[in-house]
């Protein structure tokens, strides 16, 4: 039972990170029907910026509180990533908004490659370590172990997701976003500045991605210019699983995917008698993606597929 | 990659040019004589440019030192005084380039080859040397496949991954007192090969392999497999793979509160591992083929000779030095530098080299080669002990 609890915890942490990144995919898709493949790279930039700032601060030999240094790194990551998210939309997607969908998709992939290589040029090809600034406390729950960092990741993700739901369902800005998602032209006629709303969507997505990036690098203790690629694909899968374009769906999809991966990798060896091994961990995500696309293309909480098809 | 037909053409053209050059210089053959003196060419191949250039130059210097010493002391073969000449080539650590320079050396009629540095280059080049009947002694290739191809011209003076895996498995059970061992590998040729050998050795030593889990050489999340392993209560976790996965794995192992010891191979025994794992690396044990230089029988003397002339030793220079001397020893025994004549003597050579006693088994692997175990203490790799390949005798240090 303790193993089950432990895999549950592993899955929840992984799932919260996927969910945060998946929100960025789903928000952009909801409004523009565009898959922003550069979103994974924004996450990577978040991690890299945070580590660069942390590195610069610790290099001064200050004995400031570790938490404070990480908080500074995180805020720097969020600021840079929001600007990056804004610029990506402005430079790469806005000029192509009326172009065929394929053109936008190709630009998205191109943007992803550009960002990846830019990061490689800036920070090099080697792994960058997250310095041990955060005091690690372990709690024992019936044989399973949960660390303060894991609790923090789950709580912060939930908080951010709840905040986002409130923003979209209860505020003027949220109403404008929903209106733009339903019918861009009509929303424009109603006095909504569509360009601003789209920019805001990208900025919010990028900020969430930055937080997720910092979480990943702190959790695994590593960052690398290539880390955004796989994370982006997994989060995209999570968004599709939950129903792309649906905010609550992305959260559900992210959590589910994290759990599927964790339990899958943990139990597949025993269940198949060693025929399939735990190196299939990454395969689960894409197996789920294929299943969803075949059985229920609209995803678990998907909507509006009929009118869009 | 970029237009196979063109590349093929270029290579052929290159080989053709080399062949022509070789023909025009036919007078400079292996047994070329000038006056009462005979010139014997010995090839050396390693990456002399690119990211591994520092290691390649190190091998070159080691071989050069041995060549010069043999020339100074004077070797006589078949009644003639011999002058050895080192022909160094650059394979840029690339398998394709390795075959091109191998052919170049064959065409220049070298008597033997010291190299290559990497397993990935030594293996494809070994076929070319075998076809030409030229003995090849690699100072540093460790992949099992290198001597497993049935080429009687391929030798090495460094312990291979099979021997390393055997030592690691035995060490885990006998010295680290692990009864329940979990093995993880990254499914690469190196990681899987090493893990399979560790698996066998653990079972042979009376230990139990309670879990075999796998990951990839790009993963960062090992919590799921570590949790599954934790449920089986291991005493020790072995990882066959590189430092970039080993480091986060150690960290996650500790965050799960898994009390098992962590053991790795030479992919983990790196400076990069210490950097990536930070304070989590404390207590990690890992192995590396060969002896630490100061424990080598002739290590201190070699270090002095080498540093006086070339500066700091990187890694494999003593092995390149020994490889040359073993080759010369076989030539002396055969009283000839003809590859076909002295090749027969190579398997019978017994030599007390700088790195240890050198003799080859039937495959061309070094007999009883050394594996050194290191442990992280105070953020540094400290030598625990050196185990000779058979695992029978151990030289304690510290």
> Which residues in chain A are contacts of B275 at CB distance < 8 A?
129
Query: Do B278 and A281 make contact, defined as CB atoms within 8 angstroms?
Result: no
Would the CA dihedral through A119, A121, A127, A131 be positive or negative? negative
A274/B contact by beta carbon, under 8 A: yes
> Does the domain spanning B4-158+295-367 belong to CATH 3.40.50.2300?
yes
> Which residues in chain A are contacts of B255 at CB distance < 8 A?
136, 138, 145, 147
Task: Give me the pLDDT at residue B24, please.
Answer: 47
User: Is B4-158+295-367's fold the same as B162-289+371-396's?
Assistant: yes
Establish if A255 belongs to a structural domain: yes
> Which residues in chain B are contacts of A282 at CB distance < 8 A?
216, 219
- Residue (of A187, A185, A189, A164) closest to A176 by Cα position: A187
Lowest mean pLDDT among A58-67, A82-91, A272-281: A272-281
CA A228 → CA A174, A224, B134, distances in Å?
Answer: 28, 8, 49
Regarding beta strands B112-114 and B136-138, do their DSSP bridges make them parallel or antiparallel, or are they unpaired? parallel
A5/B contact by beta carbon, under 8 A: no
A230: burial class by Cβ within 10 Å (0-12, 13-18, 19+)? middle
User: What CATH number is associated with residue A213?
Assistant: 1.10.3470
- CATH class label, B162-289+371-396: alpha beta
**Whole-structure pTM value:** 0.75
Residues 6+ apart with CB under 8 A from B216: A279, A282, B186, B187
Establish if A292 belongs to a structural domain: yes
Task: Give me the pLDDT at residue B2, please.
Answer: 44
Per-residue DSSP letter, A190: T
Min Cα distance B64 → chain A (Å) is: 33
Establish if A196 belongs to a structural domain: yes
DSSP lists the bridge partners of residue A307 as none
- Percentage of chain B with pLDDT > 90? 63
Pair B225, B187: CB distance under 8 Å: no
> Which residues in chain A are contacts of B252 at CB distance < 8 A?
220
CA B27 → CA B24, B34, B39, B67, distances in Å?
Answer: 8, 10, 11, 22
Task: Give me the pLDDT at residue B15, please.
Answer: 58
B230/A contact by beta carbon, under 8 A: yes
Establish if A42 belongs to a structural domain: yes
Total domains present in chain A = 1
Phi, psi of A211 (to 5 degrees): -60, -45
Is pLDDT of B283 > 80?
yes
Work out the average pLDDT over A277-282: 80
Residue count (chain A): 309
Residues 6+ apart with CB under 8 A from A202: A28, A36, A85, A86, A88, A89
Task: Give me the pLDDT at residue A51, please.
Answer: 96
Work out the average pLDDT over B57-81: 94
Is pLDDT of A280 > 90?
no
pLDDT digits (tens, 9 = 90+) for A90-149: 999 999 988 998 899 999 999 999 999 999 889 977 788 898 888 888 898 888 899 999
Establish if A159 belongs to a structural domain: yes
Is pLDDT of A307 > 80?
no
pLDDT digits (tens, 9 = 90+) for A59-79: 888 888 889 999 999 999 999
Task: Give me the pLDDT at residue B396, please.
Answer: 34
For chain B, which residues make up each domain, given as ranges? 4-158+295-367, 162-289+371-396
Residue-range definition of the domain harbouring residue A43: 2-127+137-308
DSSP lists the bridge partners of residue B112 as B42
Phi, psi of B273 (to 5 degrees): -60, -45
- Percentage of chain A with pLDDT > 70? 97
pLDDT digits (tens, 9 = 90+) for A37-51: 999 999 999 999 999
User: What is the C-alpha to C-alpha distance for residues B126 and B135, in angstroms, rounded to an integer?
Assistant: 9
Task: Give me the pLDDT at residue A297, please.
Answer: 86
Query: Do B219 and A282 make contact, defined as CB atoms within 8 angstroms?
Result: yes
Task: Give me the pLDDT at residue A304, please.
Answer: 52
Give CA B275 to chain center in angstroms: 24
Phi, psi of A104 (to 5 degrees): -65, -40
Query: In b/e form, how buried is each residue of A93-106, taking b as 16+ CB within 10 angstroms?
Result: beebeeeeeeebee
Is pLDDT of B195 > 60?
yes
User: What is the C-alpha to C-alpha distance for residues B2 and B6, in angstroms, rounded to an integer?
Assistant: 8
pLDDT digits (tens, 9 = 90+) for B153-171: 999 998 888 889 999 999 9
Establish if A132 belongs to a structural domain: no
pLDDT digits (tens, 9 = 90+) for B216-260: 887 889 999 999 999 899 999 999 988 889 999 999 999 888 889
Query: Do A3 and B247 make contact, defined as CB atoms within 8 angstroms?
Result: no
CA A94 → CA A52, A197, A198, B190, distances in Å?
Answer: 30, 12, 9, 48
B386: tokens are: 């050196």
B244/A contact by beta carbon, under 8 A: yes
Establish if A275 belongs to a structural domain: yes
CA B303 → CA B148, B181, B306, distances in Å?
Answer: 33, 39, 5
Q: What is the CA radius of gyration of chain A?
A: 20
Cβ atoms within 10 Å, residue B394:
16
> Which residues in chain A are contacts of B279 at CB distance < 8 A?
132
User: What is the C-alpha to C-alpha distance for residues A133 and A151, in angstroms, rounded to an integer?
Assistant: 17
> B23 vs B251, which has greater pLDDT?
B251
Task: Give me the pLDDT at residue B11, please.
Answer: 58
Lowest mean pLDDT among B19-28, B192-201, B358-367, B378-387: B19-28
Give DSSP secondary structure letters for A15-54: HHHHHHHHHHHHHHHHHH----TTHHHHHHHHHHHHHHHH
pLDDT-derived band at A80 (thresholds 50, 70, 90) equals very high
Q: To the nearest whole number, what is the mean pLDDT of chain B?
A: 87
B210/A contact by beta carbon, under 8 A: no
Residue of B182, B212, B214, B227 to mutate, interface with A, max A Cβ within 10 Å: B227
pLDDT-derived band at B93 (thresholds 50, 70, 90) equals confident
Give DSSP secondary structure letters for B47-77: --SSTTHHHHHHHHHHHHHHHHHHHHH-EEE
Residues 6+ apart with CB under 8 A from B194: B161, B164, B165, B168, B185, B240, B265, B267
Task: Give me the pLDDT at residue A127, please.
Answer: 82
Residue of B nearest to A269 (CA): B213
């Amino acid at each position: 039972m303790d193993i089950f609890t432990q895999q549950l915890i592993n899955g929840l942490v992984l799932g919260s990170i996927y969910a945060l990144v998946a929100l960025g995919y789903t928000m952009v898709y909801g409004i523009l029907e565009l898959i922003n493949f550069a979103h994974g790279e924004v996450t990577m930039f978040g991690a890299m910026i945070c580590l660069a700032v942390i590195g610069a601060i610790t290099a001064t030999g200050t004995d400031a509180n570790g938490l404070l240094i990480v908080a500074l790194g995180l805020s720097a990551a969020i600021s840079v990533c929001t600007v990056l998210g804004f610029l990506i939309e402005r430079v790469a997607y806005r000029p192509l908004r009326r172009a065929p969908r394929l053109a936008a998709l190709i630009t998205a992939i191109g943007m992803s490659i550009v960002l990846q290589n830019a990061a490689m040029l800036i920070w090099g090809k080697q792994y960058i370590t997250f310095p041990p600034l955060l005091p690690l406390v372990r709690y024992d729950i019936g044989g399973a172990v949960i660390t303060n960092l894991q609790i923090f990741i789950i709580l912060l993700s939930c908080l951010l997701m709840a905040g986002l739901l409130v923003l979209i369902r209860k505020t003027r800005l949220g109403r404008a976003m929903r209106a733009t998602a339903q019918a861009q032209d009509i929303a424009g006629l109603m006095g909504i500045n569509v360009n601003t709303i789209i920019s805001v969507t990208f900025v919010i997505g990028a900020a969430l991605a930055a937080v997720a990036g910092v979480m990943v690098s702190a959790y695994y203790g590593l960052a690398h210019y290539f880390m955004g690629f796989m994370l982006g694909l997994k989060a995209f899968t999570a968004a599709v699983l939950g129903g792309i374009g649906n905010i609550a769906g992305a959260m559900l999809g992210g959590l589910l995917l994290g759990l599927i991966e964790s339990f899958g990798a943990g139990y597949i060896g025993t269940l198949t008698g060693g025929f399939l091994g735990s190196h299939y961990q990454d395969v689960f995500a894409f197996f789920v993606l294929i299943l969803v696309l075949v059985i229920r293309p609209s995803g678990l909480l998907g909507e509006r597929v009929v009118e869009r098809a | 990659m970029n237009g196979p037909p063109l590349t093929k053409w270029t290579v052929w053209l290159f080989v053709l040019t080399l062949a022509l050059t070789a023909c025009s210089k036919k007078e400079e053959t292996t047994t070329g004589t000038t006056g009462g003196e005979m010139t014997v060419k010995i090839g050396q191949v390693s990456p002399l440019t690119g990211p591994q250039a520092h290691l390649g130059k190190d091998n070159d210097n080691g071989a050069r030192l041995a060549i010069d010493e043999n020339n100074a002391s004077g070797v006589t073969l078949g009644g003639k005084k011999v002058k050895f000449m080192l022909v160094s080539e650059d394979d840029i650590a690339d398998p394709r380039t390795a075959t091109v320079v191998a052919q170049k050396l064959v065409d220049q009629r070298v008597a033997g080859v010291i190299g290559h540095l990497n397993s990935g280059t030594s293996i494809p080049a070994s076929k070319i040397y075998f076809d030409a009947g030229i003995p090849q002694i690699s100072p540093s290739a460790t992949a099992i496949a290198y001597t497993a191809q049935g080429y009687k011209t391929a030798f090495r003076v460094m312990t291979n991954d099979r021997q390393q895996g055997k030592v690691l498995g035995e060490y885990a059970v006998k010295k680290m007192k692990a009864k329940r061992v979990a093995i993880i590998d990254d499914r690469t040729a190196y990681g899987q090969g090493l893990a399979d050998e560790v698996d066998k050795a653990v079972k042979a030593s009376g230990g139990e392999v309670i879990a075999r889990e796998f990951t990839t050489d790009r993963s960062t999340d090992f919590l799921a497999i570590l949790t599954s392993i934790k449920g089986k209560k291991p005493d020790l976790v072995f990882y066959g793979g590189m430092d970039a996965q080993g480091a986060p794995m150690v960290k996650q192992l500790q965050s799960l509160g898994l009390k098992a010891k962590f053991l790795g191979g030479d992919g983990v025994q790196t400076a990069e591992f210490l950097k990536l794992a930070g304070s989590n690396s404390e207590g990690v044990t890992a192995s590396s083929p060969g002896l630490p230089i100061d424990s080598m029988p002739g290590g201190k003397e070699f270090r002095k000779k080498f540093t006086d002339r070339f500066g700091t030793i990187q890694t494999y220079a003593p092995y390149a030095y020994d490889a040359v001397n073993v080759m010369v020893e076989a030539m002396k025994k055969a009283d000839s530098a003809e590859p076909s004549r002295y090749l027969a003597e190579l398997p019978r050579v017994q030599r007390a080299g700088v790195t240890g006693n050198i003799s080859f088994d039937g495959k061309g692997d070094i007999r009883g080669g050394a594996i050194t175990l290191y442990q992280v203490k105070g953020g540094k790799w400290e030598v625990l002990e050196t185990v000779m390949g058979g695992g029978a005798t151990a030289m304690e240090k510290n």
